Amino acid sequence: MRIDIITVLPQLLESPFSASILKRAQTKGLVEVHLHDLRKYSTNKHAQVDDYQYGGGAGMVMALEPVVAAIEDLQGQRNYDEVIYLTPDGTTLDQRMANRLSVQNNLMLLCGHYKGIDERIREHFITKEISIGDYVLSGGELAAAVLADSIIRLIPGVLNDGTSALTDSFQDDLLAPPVYTRPAEYRGWPVPEILLSGNTPAIEEWRHQKALERTQKRRPDLLKRQSSEEGGKI
């Protein structure tokens, strides 16, 4: 997989992709992440990439021409499965979306800034708009890092344990069950006996039941969505 990120602040994204799992994925050759400085596409002598919005109002808008130049330059080099704009009014990122994107070959991410991008870019170039939550950040860089992390960790071979991602929260519309490690007892707090039994089917059933209980308590909306989808099947 290759991920190209267009950003006003490439230095803000250098750190997340140079450590831990994201670095290891690139070292293994499982993913390429390329950062593209939007200012390099500006024809302004000061490398300006924002302008006043038509109709007046507070806040600047990302200029049309450098963004289009950046997108078209990258599209001239390869085909992209998705051109994604990180924006608060996009579709909220969830595990299903990350799963779908993880099997693509080439993704382009555009990080918003200021009051956003010229609407014509959204109309003519963007294929998917994604939000990471109902709040506003100073820019799309941190959102792009979150999105990329959620995708990259799902690529086969990235995680040391290939099955680990399959048991994460949200993979089956359930939160993950409680987990424990050594020692088996600490300050009088014991690990549940079932986990020490070696009875794999019983342990899996316990985990599933605990996942159901935790989801019902903390995120009942996930169970309602699951029930609704199952009810809609023919």
Q: What number does CATH give the domain 2-152?
A: 3.40.1280.10
Question: Is the CA virtual torsion 7, 12, 18, 21 positive or negative?
Answer: negative
Sort strands 2-7 and 106-111 into parallel, antiparallel or unpaired: parallel
Q: What is the mean pLDDT of residues 144-159?
A: 96
Q: Name the DSSP letter for residue 221.
A: H
Sort strands 185-186 and 189-190 into parallel, antiparallel or unpaired: antiparallel
Superfamily per CATH, domain 169-231: tRNA(m1g37)methyltransferase, domain 2 (1.10.1270.20)
Angstrom distance (rounded) from CA 22 to CA 13 = 12
Sort strands 60-62 and 50-52 into parallel, antiparallel or unpaired: antiparallel
Q: What is the mean pLDDT of residues 68-92?
A: 97
- Rounding to the nearest 10 degrees, give the CA dihedral for residues 189, 191, 194, 195: 180
- Split at pLDDT 50, 70, 90, the class of 234 is very low
Residue 83 has pLDDT above 80, yes or no: yes
Q: Name the DSSP letter for residue 122.
A: H
pLDDT digits (tens, 9 = 90+) for 92-106: 999 999 999 999 999
Contact 30, 160 (CB under 8 A): no
* Residue 62 CB contacts under 8 Å (≥ 6 apart), including other chains: 8, 38, 49, 50, 112, 113, 114, 116, 117, 118
pLDDT digits (tens, 9 = 90+) for 161-213: 655 565 565 667 899 999 999 999 999 999 999 999 999 999 999 999 999 99
Angstrom distance (rounded) from CA 65 to CA 37 = 14
Strand (E) positions, the chain? 2-7, 32-37, 50-52, 60-62, 82-92, 106-111, 128-131, 185-186, 189-190
C-alpha Rg value of the chain to the nearest Å: 22
Counting every residue written for the chain, the total comes to 234
Contact 176, 211 (CB under 8 A): yes
Q: What is the mean pLDDT of residues 58-83?
A: 96
Please report, for the chain, the start and end positions of each structural domain, with discontinuous segments joined by +. 2-152, 169-231
Identify any residues that bridge with 54 across adjacent strands, giving them in sequence order: none
pLDDT digits (tens, 9 = 90+) for 6-22: 999 999 999 999 999 99
